[in-house]
Structures are given as C-alpha cells and as structure tokens.
Structure 1
C-alpha cells in the first residue's frame, strides 16, 4: 500500500497513469469551471488542473473532477485506488474489502506536528477574505458561488470526546461568511447541535485539498463518535500528521492546500441554495436561511490548489466517494447483522439510490432463511434499521453470488431474468429518505420518510448459466484464453 501524503503527490500519481490534463489558458469561475468539470466527468476524461483563473492572482489553481471515474482504460476506479494507497488497476470490490477490514481494526490516532505546509500563508481578521479565492459558480440555477464541494469540515464536540470529519456543501455569502447545508443526522450537524444547545458558537475548520484519502473517509459515515483521522491511521497502518489551527481549537491535515477557520453563529442566518446536486437535478428555485459560518482565518500553501466537484448526472464524486465508502459500511453492517452477504454495492450510476446486495452461494445451507423472499425481506428490514445509512437508498436488489454488483451488465441481467415481475417485490414502508431524492413526492421529502422497494433477484438454483466463467471447464477456459492471446491481429492479412 502506498500512502499519498498530499494532494500534490496524488497529482503526480495521476500524471504517471496519464489521467491528468493541465489547462494553461485562462478559465472563468463563472460557469466555465463547472462546465469543464461536468464534461470530463460525464465523458470519462482525465482530471483537469486549471492553472489560470480569470480575476485571481497567478498561482491560484483549481482541480476539477479530482475523484471521478478515471480515463484509464479498464480501470474506472483508478483515482479512488490511488487515493486509498492501492495500485491504479485495483478493482472496486477489492478497494471495498480494505475499507471493510479497517472497520474492525484498532484505531491509530493522528500525531500533531509543530508546523505544516497548509500554513505557509496565514490570513487573519479582515485579511481572511474568501473572495480572494476562485470559488466557482457551477450550474445555471445555483443560488451563488460555492466555497466547498468536496472539502472536509472538522468539528469537535464541546466535551472534546469526538472530532468529526464530514463533507457538506458551502455557499459563499460575502468576504467573511458562508452558508452550509448541514443538520442532524449528519454528524457535523449532531456536533453543531451540541454547541447550540449550550448557547455557544461552534468552532469549525474547512479543509480544501487534503491528502486524497481524507475525502473518502469524510464521506464514509462511520459510526457516531468515530475519529476519521484515527480510522485512516488504522487503514494505512501509520498515524496521519495534523497541525493546530491558528484561531480555533481544532487540528487539520498538515499538507492541506487551504484551511478556512471560524465559528458558526446560530443567530446570524443567511440564504443558501439552490444547488445542482447528487441526484442530477437543480431543485426548485428557493433557498434556506441557515446559520452563518463566520471566517476568522484562512491559511494556505504557496500556489494553492482547490479541488472542485460539479455535482449532477452520475457518475461524479458524489457517487464515487459515497458509493465506494458506503458500500464498505453496508457490507460490514449487514454481515454483523447476520446476513450472508458476499458484497453490498451502492451503484454509482444510479446516483447511489440503488443498493445491489449479492448473497453467499451457500446461504440455503448455512442460514435459517427458508426462501429467497424471506432473505430479501430480512435484508430490506436490516437496511431500514441501519443508522445514518438507510436514507440514501430507494431500491435494493438482492442478487446471486455469481453476479458482480459493480458490473451493470450483471446487475441488469439478474434483475431482468431472475426477479419475478410481481412476486419478486417487497415494499418497506416509512423508511428514512433524503430531501434531495426527486423520485419521492413533496410531502414525503418534507416528512423525511417514504417507501423503499426490495427486488428479490435470486434465481432458481437449478438454473445453468451460459457465461464463460460458469459454463466451461477450467481446462477449456485456459485453452480458449491462450488461443485468444496468441491469435493473429487483423493486420496479418486474413484472406
């Protein structure tokens, strides 16, 4: 495992696999950054490093599509793999296995070092001006420029027992204030509630451009009171390096590109939204009045690089980060609940609305479930009970072990041919849902509850697949592969 300790190390790794493109021409923060990010995301292009942003001093750079699907042939999850210290060609289920294993490992707390590159430049008070930075206006229909789309908020509970890293969008309001759409049950919202209940302002830090694994763990929704920094320490087998902030009692990754410090003023409410979001749509044109995040300091590296995600039609970072990390959470949770799960995969192409669950081949012999319908219902009920997880899912597909849940061909084949059109459906009523899910009614989104559908896609065990890996003896498979590998190319002049 190769731990990349900074965003710049990550960019070097992307360049090594030809998955980074540098744009030296001047780019406008008004829609052009968003358009570049959207196009390269939707068409599987390389990450885009924008070197010159109109109206901002030379040296301020933007990285578009930092963790979207890769342009590397045959390895769409190469950016995720490099971020998590694995080889670029590591398949997604293997990446998920590492995240599953780390959930059972002993935490490795971070170490606080005396200084870090994130504080090469320190702006305090009036000099901590957000408008110095090229925060983009991403979509037509957004309510404003967004200061955060993939950065990590750091909050700590008043008793100092729990430090949480989480991702939330943040809209620029003026030179010293942002509005951030957070709230319970999101963990940074839970911590903010603790401060508000005490009648105190909430200290925060917003980390932009940390080492690449930070974004993945910040999106992972680990159990309450889990320290994400210590989880990453366990994952990599060594502690992360943090530095103390300048104006708040928090620590942040030492190699980060930009850190914004401040406090949440619950009495100062400012507008936020709308914004094009992970479901792929611009919501109705209204905004919310949310507590203001007041800025007290900004620190940054020389020539800082600001990662930007333009959320929308899948697959972008909203789907790769959430899909991969939540799949690891789902797999671990369902196994702990006694479900015979081979893998659980939140399908990024569905805007992470659909969970594909494959079950162990021997579930009929090793469990007490008497039918696939009973097993599917149990999976649906377990998903509904998953704290801080079930609200992402609108549909669950329960599939046989011979199908790869990360392969859409397998998932659709299993769904279409093994799920009975009427009897293969189980509806779980009144599950927690997210307000961003436009497939629900206005009333359901306002209430935060709606139905989740479970599809029983487990086939009759007597079915015989015609697939290459299933149908042919091993010696025939090996002979066929050898013949294919040694065959003549078309240019050899076949008559």
Structure 2
C-alpha cells in the first residue's frame, strides 16, 4: 500500500469525504459554478481524465455544496469500502463476495438521527431549495436522485428495499421515479396497488457510500440492502423509523424527501442521459412513471448534495455497476458450485453491465462452456448481459491485453461461439429497438484452449532464473525505481515452474 494511503472508518458521506481528503483524492472547486449544465460538464471532463472527486463549494444561487465523481477510480471505491486502495476492481469484487457470503448484519435503531436536525413540512416544502443539477442539454429537467436511492417496504413482510431509481423534479413537492417494471420497488408498488393504498417511499441523497453501493446491487428478493451494507462494513448500519411514513431510514443521510406514491398516478418524466450513453424516458414514447408526493424533507445542518453525471462511460455509475455486479456474479457462481473460477470481471467500459469475462481453471471437457452458460443462468447474469468471454486460468479476467490475446489465439468462431436467442433484457438497452427491449440475444465466446486437446499449442515462456537476474540488475540497465519483474514473473514463466518455486 502507498505510504500516503490511509484506510479510515466511514459511516456517512462526510467521513468518506474526509477520507478522500486525507488521501489526496478530492479537489475543491472554489469558483462559482452553474448547476445547469456547467457543473456536470466540468465533472465529466474531469472524469474522462480519471481526475479526483470534486466538491463544488459555490453553486450558483445556493450555499449548499455539491459532491461529484465519487467513485471514478478503483482507489476511491476501495476507500469507500475501507479496503486496501491498491486492489484491482476484480480483487475488490472478490472481497465484496467474500464479505457478503458471511452472515448478514442487521441495522441498528438509533435515537436522535443526524438527518433529523432540520425538518421541512407543509407550504415550506420545495425540493429546489437544494442545488439539484440539470445535467445534459436534452434532459427533461433537474434530477434530484442520481447518487442516491428510493426506500420502499413490502406491506406484508416488512422487507425494506433500497433501489437506485432516478428522480426528476416535477414540482416543488413532486419527484418522478424511474421504477422499472420487475424491480423490487415495482413488486412493492404492485402490492399497494392491489390493496388500493398509497405506497410510503423516501428519496435519499447523501449517505454512507456503502449504502449507495448496496442499493445499486442485484440482490435476491426479500433481502434488505441494509443487511448487505452491514456485512460490507462489518458493523450495523444506523437507522431510524419515520413517524410520517413508517419506513426504516438511514440515520446519517444528508437529505431525505419522504412521502407517498399513488401507484395509479403516473406522469411523463425525462428524457435523461442514462449510463448507456443514450437518452431514455422520451415523452410520448416511453411509459409514464410513478411520482413521489413529498410530505416532509429532512436534512442535516449544512447538508452536502451528492450527484453523479451518469452519461457515457466511465463515471461513478459504471464503476459501481462493475464492482457490485462483478461481486454478485462471483457470489452467484460460488453458490452454484461452479468449480475452477479464478477471477470474474464486468468491465465499466461495457457500462458495468452488458459484458462479462471469467477466468477458469479447466478440469473436464466442456468446463469453460459450463462456466459461460452458468453466467447467463445466474441471478446477476440473466438480466441484461449480452456477452460472456471465458479465458483460461493463466489470464486474469480484468487483464485486457491478455483477454484480447486469448481471443486472437485460443478462439475459433465456429467452435467457440454460442448464440442464445432469448434472454431477459433491460429496457434501457439502446442496442435494441425501443418497442422491443424485453428480450435480447446473447453470445458466449469461449477463448480457452479446449481441455480435451491432446496436442496443445506450445506457449512461449521466459526462464525464471534469468528473469530474477534481470530483476536484480534492473537499475544497472539505467532504469529508475523498483524492478517490475516481481509483479509479472508468474505470468511470464512456465506455470509448473512457478508452482514449484512457490512450494519451495
């Protein structure tokens, strides 16, 4: 780990920002920036350069700061998870998988939650009291929730769901909510609709980052994201029960807009520049959305507004989806008892969703094909994934140089490609016609040398002893700094030699 890097305990957005500050991972923009377009455009240019997280201290017309670009590097995701910032995305996802396969940790109720320091009710409710950004020129307006989630609850079981559904400002006390059909929030809403009742709901902005990460994760129905966040933290999430909605809400949130959704009240919302890099929610073309009518706004003293630019890769949303979908897919494969899995990766460049790479140590003929089919049969992989690439165990799933090499040298289109005609799609997939986005085809690209081949190609390897000599003399050759050999010696030398060296 870098000597300057500190792993600090985090329990809210403020402690995360402090941890970023301590590690030189945040830049404070002190000049005035307009919430309409400019703030997003500055953030997006910064993200394209893999720049730091940003804190806008002077937003036009407001005295509330706006925080963006929270997760656009693996280092910042690691800090948010209280993990070693030197870990790669695939390694971080493995940590996530390992933590969440242990016992889940229930939240704990607390008295005097910080988010209740201020309450806005009645005629004073106005969601535009907060510096809600307007992101892109063709967006339908300002979006309150991009880095946040909607809290809903099953009226029969009490199961609480945190769902990352965007929320457009449609009025002083009205938020549109993109609750996609089939999502857990939609399941809850259908139950209230059948009962003829309003659904309690709360839009949360600014929280412990692990709650935002958990809220955007594909978890099984009936599982509370508070429990997932608790297992990732290793301690309970502090919560409280609202006397207005009866919902269990995060105690340390910055802003909460709570109220009720009438399942039968729908309004046009959007368009919105989505994580696919294309707009969705075109009025008159897409279905209208349910709306949250706000009955109370809670916020901390001197609140911080948290937003993400969404849009084309790579930004917070793609990094989050890459991290948590990789983790949940790895978890799925572990639970399915698929043997030989070495590493898993859902790249942020693929919007953190549409493509998967899996490294497998083959043990029998057809093993790599088994892995590819298991991915698209899993809880994570069945929804929206369009392609799976399997590679042999000598290649890390997130090593793109070697993945492309495997596709070039271990792949035969006729033998190695499988096309599956029908699978569950996402309505946000711009690769499908807008009127037919329920079903997608899929492809599995098996970039593994077939296990059953008796005469396998003779791969090039370096001599381990000579590589060690090169490492020892690295500075003698005129190169500065530490030798890079240690990090690549096992990849460049014959596997059985490396295995013997490790055993010795």
TM > 0.5 fold call: yes
Aligned to 2:290: 291
Structure 1 residue 156: Cα displacement? 1.0
Aligned 8 A contact 2:273 2:311 in 1: yes
After superposition, the Cα gap between the structure-2 partners of 1:460 and 1:31, relative to the gap in structure 1 and judged at 3 Å, is: same
Structure 1 position 317 matched with structure 2 position 309: no
CA deviations 1:161-214 (Å, max 9, x no partner) are 311112111111010001111133211221222222211111111221101111
Aligned 8 A contact 1:114 1:243 in 2: yes
Aligned to 2:468: 478
Aligned to 2:502: none
After superposition, the Cα gap between the structure-2 partners of 1:128 and 1:486, relative to the gap in structure 1 and judged at 3 Å, is: farther
Alignment partner for residue 178 of structure 1, among 168, 175, 179?
175
Q: Tell me, in whole angstroms, the C-alpha distance in 2 between the residues paired with 1:134 and 1:34.
A: 12
TM-score between both structures, scaled by the size of structure 2: 0.88
Q: Give the secondary-structure state (helix, strand or coil) at the position aligned to 1:48.
A: strand
Structure 1 position 52 matched with structure 2 position 58: yes
Q: Give the secondary-structure state (helix, strand or coil) at the position aligned to 1:108.
A: coil
Alignment partner for residue 92 of structure 2, among 77, 80, 95?
95
Q: Tell me, in whole angstroms, the C-alpha distance in 2 between the residues paired with 1:490 and 1:232.
A: 43
- Structure 1, unaligned stretches of length 5 or more? 70-76, 365-369
Aligned 8 A contact 1:245 1:261 in 2: no
Q: Give the secondary-structure state (helix, strand or coil) at the position aligned to 1:403.
A: coil
Aligned 8 A contact 2:179 2:290 in 1: no
- Structure 2, unaligned stretches of length 5 or more? 1-6, 482-504
Q: Tell me, in whole angstroms, the C-alpha distance in 2 between the residues paired with 1:166 and 1:474.
A: 51
Q: Tell me, in whole angstroms, the C-alpha distance in 1 between the residues paired with 2:450 and 2:472.
A: 33
RMSD, aligned CA: 2.1
Q: Tell me, in whole angstroms, the C-alpha distance in 1 between the residues paired with 2:231 and 2:53.
A: 28
Q: Tell me, in whole angstroms, the C-alpha distance in 1 between the residues paired with 2:465 and 2:248.
A: 57
Alignment partner for residue 450 of structure 1, among 420, 437, 440?
440
After superposition, the Cα gap between the structure-2 partners of 1:483 and 1:240, relative to the gap in structure 1 and judged at 3 Å, is: same
Structure 1 residue 359: Cα displacement? 0.8
After superposition, the Cα gap between the structure-2 partners of 1:284 and 1:237, relative to the gap in structure 1 and judged at 3 Å, is: closer
Aligned to 1:367: none
Alignment partner for residue 37 of structure 1, among 23, 40, 43?
43
Aligned to 1:459: 449
Aligned 8 A contact 2:178 2:290 in 1: no
After superposition, the Cα gap between the structure-2 partners of 1:485 and 1:335, relative to the gap in structure 1 and judged at 3 Å, is: farther
Aligned 8 A contact 2:269 2:281 in 1: no
Aligned 8 A contact 1:146 1:169 in 2: yes
Structure 1 position 302 matched with structure 2 position 306: no
Pairs within 5 Å for 1:80-479: 80-283=77-280, 285-286=282-283, 288-340=287-339, 341-352=341-352, 353-360=354-361, 362-364=362-364, 370-371=365-366, 375-376=368-369, 378-387=370-379, 389-445=381-437, 448-459=438-449, 462-466=456-460, 471-479=461-469
Structure 1 residue 48: Cα displacement? 0.8
Pairs within 5 Å for 1:58-69: 58=63, 60-69=64-73
Q: Tell me, in whole angstroms, the C-alpha distance in 2 between the residues paired with 1:288 and 1:144.
A: 17
The structure 1 segments of at least 4 consecutive aligned residues displaced by more than 6 Å after TM superposition are none
Structure 1 residue 144: Cα displacement? 1.3
Aligned 8 A contact 2:192 2:263 in 1: no
Aligned to 1:16: 22
The aligned length equals 467
Q: Tell me, in whole angstroms, the C-alpha distance in 2 between the residues paired with 1:324 and 1:332.
A: 12
CA deviations 1:54-73 (Å, max 9, x no partner) are 122x2x1111111122xxxx
Q: Give the secondary-structure state (helix, strand or coil) at the position aligned to 1:343.
A: strand
Aligned 8 A contact 1:245 1:251 in 2: yes
Structure 1 residue 284: Cα displacement? 7.9
Aligned 8 A contact 2:90 2:344 in 1: no
Structure 1 residue 411: Cα displacement? 2.2
Q: Tell me, in whole angstroms, the C-alpha distance in 2 between the residues paired with 1:246 and 1:303.
A: 24
After superposition, the Cα gap between the structure-2 partners of 1:264 and 1:320, relative to the gap in structure 1 and judged at 3 Å, is: same
Q: Tell me, in whole angstroms, the C-alpha distance in 2 between the residues paired with 1:411 and 1:62.
A: 39
Aligned 8 A contact 1:210 1:257 in 2: yes
Q: Give the secondary-structure state (helix, strand or coil) at the position aligned to 1:480.
A: helix
After superposition, the Cα gap between the structure-2 partners of 1:156 and 1:267, relative to the gap in structure 1 and judged at 3 Å, is: same
CA deviations 1:99-147 (Å, max 9, x no partner) are 1123321121111101122122111122221011111110111111111
